[in-house]
Amino acid sequence: MWGSRKLISSGSRFLGVRRSGCRVAQADCPRSTASAENQLSWTLPIKPWIFSEYRIMWFKSCKMTFVCFNRMKSYRYPWTRLYSTSGTTVDSSEVKTFLALAHRWWDEQGVYAPLHSMNDLRVPFIRDNLLKTVANHQPGKPLSGMKILDVGCGGGLLTEPLGRLGASVIGIDPVAENIETAQRHKSFDPVLDKRIEYRACALEEIVEETAETFDAVIASEVVEHVTDLETFIQCCWQVLKPGASLFITTINKTQLSYALGIVFAEQIAGIVPKGTHTWEKFVSPEMLESILESNGLSVQTVAGMFYNPFSRYWHWSENTSLNYAAHAVKSGAQEHQVPAESVLKEETEELQATASTIAGVREEVKK
């Protein structure tokens, strides 16, 4: 219905594994140009191990060197530990940018006009996907009884429509002035005043007190502003109930998104203020899915979004090269524990097989 598509990544996505295969090289040939700290030279017998991302495993035997490159993430059970609140995913420079615009959130013709218009897509997208999980709902208040966390809520542009649908919503934002604007605006509606709560804080600050609390977490136009995307996703996982939903809207990292999202939108047309976005922080749907899947969130839907700056309306699109929306569901710990162990076992067996092959080649070389 949303022109959506399910992105499928090859290999084991739960551990974020990407295999690059193995190659054989003569010993006198130059090794990889990787830095010394990323190279480990071992002699047989080898012990299979799991390295952090982009580590290199070296196997030396007689006159031949076998080099195996694996792109792996550290093996972990994301559901067994809470993220330490000693760090932060908030970028202080981003805070300064939004601080200067805190009073302009509810100007529908101003710099946040695209976000006002985006509600025409993202509110039904969130509502309809959440309603798939409930058998019955109240007419006029379809999200009644649901607890939703709106991360990076700004002035409450998305928080309020979700509250009007009956949900109990907590909106959080690291910019205190944004929260003041949101509080002031919701106070005009007594119904919303009861259903919505705002807090001036970062997500990682409430992880422990709200673990497995929410039926849905919303991060709309947020992930392209955080300093550590994986830590942010881990925090989202921790505050979600098993089977609950994570909704994300963001910008793809493409040449087109740089040309239109940075050069045109910020520098030429002035649709958004200069410096609002940093292209290096944009994330592709494939990368986002990889991070979500490796942290216990199963991606259900990815749909492209297109903004027409002349009509000022958003439309769904099959093309995700600019903006896109994603919906992922948190699975229970038990559902993920077996696959994780299975993947580790598979990797161990694979490395043992490689060791056996090397031993065989070594014997052949001796002959």
Residue ranges of the binding site for Mg(2+): 221, 224-225
- 366 bridge partner residues: none
Per-position b or e across 65-104, b if 16+ CB within 10 A of its CB: bbbbbbebbebeebbeeebeeeebbbbeebbebbeebbee
Known binding-site residue numbers? 122, 152, 173, 220-221, 224-225
Q: And the tokens for 76?
A: 């972990």
Helices 285-294, 229-239: axis angle to 10 degrees equals 50
Known binding-site residue numbers for S-adenosyl-L-methionine? 122, 152, 173, 220
Question: How many angstroms separate the Cα of 89 from the Cα of each of 75, 188, 222, 235, 290?
Answer: 22, 32, 11, 10, 19
Q: Please say whether the beta carbons of 90 and 202 come within 8 A.
A: yes
Candidates 79, 88, 16, 14; CA nearest to 52 is 16
SS3 content of the chain, % helix, strand, coil (to 5): 35, 25, 40
- Give every strand in the sheet of 214-220, ordered side by side: 196-200, 168-173, 147-151, 214-220, 240-251, 323-330, 297-308, 313-317
